[in-house]
Structure 1
Amino acid sequence: MLVAERYEKIVQLVDEKGSIRVSELSEIFGVTEETVRRDLDNLEKEGRLRRSHGGAVSVKDKQSEIPYFEREIKNVDEKQKIAQEAVHHIQENDRIILDASSTAWYMAKALPDIPLTVLTNSIKVAMELSHKAKIEVISTGGSLSKKSLSYIGPLAERSLDLYHVDKTFVSCQGVHIERGISESNELQARLKQKMIELADQVILLADYSKFGVQSFTQVTDWTHIDTLITDARTKQEDLQALEELRVQTQRLKGSSEDSSVSS
């Protein structure tokens, strides 16, 4: 591969993932890490990416939120399995928060009709749970985000101040070992920060594609995440790094019936 071709591919990978590590690029292209660092320095000088500690970050505008219907059909199998496993963390009479992620909607579909209180900013989640008589659903209200089919903004944030919950289930666009979890939209990030603050236990739902990505706005660092549920394609080295940060990790095996837990 010519140097120019490698440059183009590096920029494409960084823009797709939001951020990427030197070691990962070295493995992908079969070149030394020193060569990768030199490539990244040159690309930064051209304004095509930004160097970060251990890698590079995209300079592409990440503020735009991905429409819900695009997220809903991406990595469906992984999200469904993660959602089904997350349901096992719920007990009768729990008070829980489900965010506006597509994985939370899969959770709502998988939830049995048992006594629960569910607080959500998601129209899709609220509609799904409306058919389950024993589940009380509380919507945040607020400004409607048409892309995510959810409520956001100051009114949604203030409505959360009224509540305390046992468990918050959130997903995100980016999972980064050093920088925590992140979102492309600042208003979504602020609302998720509130959701995390309200809970006794915070459970992050993230498939393999989220790892190594740094989106526009940080949601929180790892000190506020208790448990991660992810799929079999997530790298073991990432899970080990999170365990060192005292995050309990649950990595699903190939089938939805089997799972392995380490802490």
Structure 2
Amino acid sequence: MLVTNRVNYILNTINRIGKVSVINLSKELNVSLETIRRDLKQLDEQGELIRIHGGAKNKKYKDEGTSFNNRAHLNINDKQTLVNQVIENIYEGCVIGLDASSSSWLVAQAMPDFRCTVVTNSLNNINVLSEKRNITTIALGGYFSEKYKAFYGLITRNNLIEMTLDLCVISCVGFDKESGVWDSNEYNLDVKRTLIKVSNKSILIADKSKHRKKSLLKICNIDEIDILISNAEI
């Protein structure tokens, strides 16, 4: 790839998602890690981006999402009640996608240990499911986010887009009937949209604290979700 095209790709990517990794760019552009590091160094010196450990970020980048650790224990009783309804839709032999939300983490914990396959980008889900002998876990690779304890990026999406799932379970930052389903950052947005696209049935699990809330990015319209599981008064 020509240097100009490569640099344009890097800048377009970083302007779109806010943050990039050297490893992902190397694989996506089919060049060496050292080549990407030189490109990022030059772009940093030109004031186009800010170099960080392992990659670079947009000068205006601000990740609005809440970390997994901070979300894990919010509204836990409400979530547990909703998780039980999600489990009713899971059956032996199914292929299910789980996003990296704290609600999906509770679903992974509650899943019966019968023969099925789970596809996920969440490290927490992988750890929980590794203890269940009858469940086959497919881990989506990609750029690892310590904040979200999950994998993201083009590699993650490319792996997922080649699959066909029976159902997926996602959560959100906010939802309502009129405006749709919302999330706070591009990382989670891309995975959730792709899960919906490749699944025969999509399940949104969202407790009442998320009803009538909006955020930065729209995942989809509410009618693109097959099953809404919530304790909100809708």
TM-score range, shorter chain: 0.7 to 0.9
The aligned residue for residue 184 of structure 1 is 184
Conserved 8 A contact 1:144-1:150: yes
1:177 is displaced (CA, Å) by: 2.2
RMSD across aligned positions (CA): 1.3
**For residues 124 and 202 of structure 1, what CA distance do their matches in structure 2 show?**
21
Secondary structure of the residue aligned to 1:228 is strand
Conserved 8 A contact 1:175-1:211: yes
Secondary structure of the residue aligned to 1:106 is helix
**For residues 169 and 218 of structure 1, what CA distance do their matches in structure 2 show?**
17
1:63 is displaced (CA, Å) by: 4.2
Q: Which structure 1 residue ranges, 5 or more long, are not aligned?
A: 1-60, 239-263
Q: What letter is aligned with 2:115?
A: P
Q: 1:103 to 1:212 in 2, by over 3 A?
A: same
Conserved 8 A contact 2:176-2:222: no
The aligned residue for residue 27 of structure 1 is none
**For residues 62 and 211 of structure 1, what CA distance do their matches in structure 2 show?**
25
The aligned residue for residue 174 of structure 1 is 174
**For residues 62 and 113 of structure 1, what CA distance do their matches in structure 2 show?**
40
Q: 1:170 to 1:185 in 2, by over 3 A?
A: same
Alignment TM-score, normalising by the size of structure 1: 0.64
**For residues 129 and 77 of structure 1, what CA distance do their matches in structure 2 show?**
22
1:205 is displaced (CA, Å) by: 0.2
Q: What letter is aligned with 1:207?
A: D
**For residues 120 and 87 of structure 1, what CA distance do their matches in structure 2 show?**
16
1:223 is displaced (CA, Å) by: 2.6
Structure 1 residue ranges (4+ consecutive) displaced by more than 3 angstroms after TM superposition:
none
**For residues 180 and 107 of structure 1, what CA distance do their matches in structure 2 show?**
23
**For residues 63 and 71 of structure 1, what CA distance do their matches in structure 2 show?**
15
Deviations 1:228-247 (A, max 9, x none): 1112xx12xx2xxxxxxxxx
Matched, 1:65 2:65: yes
Conserved 8 A contact 1:97-1:120: yes
**For residues 99 and 163 of structure 1, what CA distance do their matches in structure 2 show?**
15
Identity of aligned residues (%): 32
Deviations 1:184-227 (A, max 9, x none): 01121011100000111111000001111111111111231011
Q: What letter is aligned with 2:96?
A: I
Alignment TM-score, normalising by the size of structure 2: 0.72
Q: Which structure 2 residue ranges, 5 or more long, are not aligned?
A: 1-60
The aligned residue for residue 125 of structure 2 is 125
Matched, 1:148 2:148: yes
The aligned residue for residue 213 of structure 2 is 213
